[in-house]
Amino acid sequence: MAGIFEGPRNNGGTLFLGGQKISGSDIRDQNVQATQAIANVVKSSFGPSGLDKMMVDDIGEVTVTNDGATILSLLSVEHPAGKILVDLAQQQDREVGDGTTSVVLIAAELLRRANELMKMRIHPTTIITGYRLALREAVRYMNENISTKVDNLGRESLMAIAKTSMSSKIIGADSDFFSNMVVDAITSVKSVNARGEVKYPVKAVNVLKAHGKSATESVLIKGYAMNCTVASQAMTTRVTDAKIAVLDMNLQKERMKMGVNVVIDDPAQLEKIREREAGIVIERIEMILKAGANVVFTTKGIDDLCLKHFVEKGVMGVRRCKKEDLRRIAKATGAQMVSTLADLNGDEVFDKANLGEAKEVVQERISDDECILVKGPKVHTAASIILRGANEYSLDEMERSVHDSLSAVKRTLESGRIVPGGGAVETALHIYLEEWATSVGSREQLAIAAFASALLVIPTTLAVNAAKDSSDLVAQLRSRHALSQRTSDPVPHPPTQTTASNGHPSAPPQPPSTSDADAKAIAKAKGYRNYGLDLTKGRVHDSIKAGVLEPSMGKVKQLKSAVEACVAIMRIDTLIKLDPEQRGEDDGHGH
């Protein structure tokens, strides 16, 4: 009988179902611990001076990276609250492509502060409402006061955005070289969709990796590059004015399908069947060549019988291409991917309209590999970056870094708004929300203040990772931003300020007659609103003048996603864990 009474003493108790139930502050503490543990994993890899992590999986595969989403996707996370943060980083990676580490740090910090408020007997619903209010106000303030609209984004600002994204990555040392390449690549894949919106698809930039040489010998190719070679040495390796057929079918001798039996009495009949099998595929090839194709890409095989035809006609044939590559080539050249030659009537035809066009298709040797390059495609421009590096690990990390930079530039071009980097946005929002919280006369005030304080985790972590005094630098940043917001338009509630100032006879009424010195001081203070951390010199500086820029859409998404993840975890107040079903032998006691 003792077993029945053991329940309540075990934090939350045993369930009748066989399992355990943890509720109240215990589960909240557990969730906070789990999220803090995850944030601590990526914390030291944040910012320009962040350190890398070496991840070794269960089969000994090694990954060296400081990309938040990559680190978290390689972790085997058991705790449900931890999994929410892992999903959060991957969502940020999918939607924005950059800022994966900071979104996890903000979410974990929001949750930690929320837990402290709950210990002070503040209800989770109140905190959630406060966080949502603070988020709405933060996004509004960011759009109106911090982000700058850049109508004709100059190349300089795009390069600055690419550099800022790279600063924390492996290619940060060569950021001048790579930012040029990234901006060229993303601007060359500009396309307009059916609704007339200008899009810059990151996937249209194909990134290939080749061992050897140094990182700065990476090249950008105007065209689409594939890791394939021509199917036969005797084939031509350069075709100008290419007409490209993109196939998803076998160009091999037709064989009887599985389970088809043909019973033959006469050996001559067998020979005829064999001839016909060979004849079918030859007819298909001739049909494709007659339509004018001089380059044939296929995802499947081409056998020797068919290669002979290609070589004789001077046509380039490439087999076993990746389907994803061929889709991109089809899109860029205006080709149609053909998976069967049969038309609606069952006859085999190949239409000229299925062919794509490009100025040139050529096979070039890069490092130890041969690549096929499709240059000057007719419909959409395409770009490929061929990265060079010492080994597999550094090449993989370079690819991740280039992808993040491409995404950052894409988001900037599509939204057209930028914000200063280096912790400037977070500090400005921190100061503004702290002030704004005092104007909210309801119980959500504490939650808004907690939200404001949580944002400081970004500049603090940046400073700590750069081996600088975070207390000193963050204090400097706060004083600059507080000054800039005091001298800019009156903060949340102008009426009380004027009455307060009228209460003192010595204070002149608003607006005061400002002398030149005052005007200069105000102008200088207003300039402080773009101040962020300069981590190389260990001081604060104007991030926009220093070229530390980020797309504002990335920042907005960071805050929104972090709050949503935090709210999802805060709503949890009970964990019910069922015991796994026992499938053992009967032990003689009826168990």
Helices (H), 438-551: 445-454, 457-465, 470-487, 494-503, 516-527, 543-546
- Range 298-330 burial, b when 16+ CB lie within 10 A, else e: bbeebeeebbebbbeeebbbbbebeeebbebbb
Q: Residue 475 and residue 456: Cα distance in Å, rounded? A: 10
Closest CA to 428 of 555, 560, 562: 555
Rama region for 176: left / alpha / beta (φ>0; ψ in -120 to 50; rest) = alpha
Cβ atoms of 371 and 363 within 8 Å: the answer is yes
Radius of gyration of the chain (CA): 32
Tell the burial category of 442 from Cβ atoms under 10 Å away from its Cβ (0-12, 13-18, 19+).
exposed
Half-sphere exposure of 385 toward its Cβ, with a 13 Å CA cutoff? 33
Neighbours of 527 (CB within 10 A): 14
Q: Residue 404 and residue 178: Cα distance in Å, rounded? A: 12
Q: Which residues contact 339 (CB under 8 A, 6 or more apart)?
A: 247, 248, 249
Would you give the end-to-end CA distance of the chain in angstroms? 15
Residue 191 vs residues 199, 380, 455: alpha-carbon distances, Å: 5, 7, 37
Which are the catalytic amino acids? 67, 100-101, 404
